[in-house]
Structure 1
Amino acid sequence: MTQAYSGPIALRDKLAHVPHRKLNADVLATSVERATTETLPLMQARIHDLSNTVS
């Protein structure tokens, strides 16, 4: 099993502060997949909530 960064914030920090050539591609891919799984439903729910309050 490929390791992942500890969460979406850690992923953001790595992408913002570490030269990309120093990042492990497998760890990066696993981290993006995990972050998407964790945060996409939250973002979709927030968008839905905002679209209901604007109408």
Structure 2
Amino acid sequence: MTMSIIVIASAFIWIAAIYELIKPSKKQNNRKIIILTSFGTLSTLIITISLFQGFPFFH
């Protein structure tokens, strides 16, 4: 359940980051891009670690 929420939140974070990046350069908010990319990377890392912990050969 918790993992589903993190996956959905991560997808929305990356969509928002991409939306900000496709704006014309004069309208882009660099601080917003950095924050979204940071949180997106962190959430992707959490998802990746939890997926690898589910594999039996990593125990």
TM-score with structure 1 setting the length: 0.48
Asked which structure has the greater RCO (Cα within 8 Å, sep 6+), the reply is: 1
TM-score (norm 2): 0.46
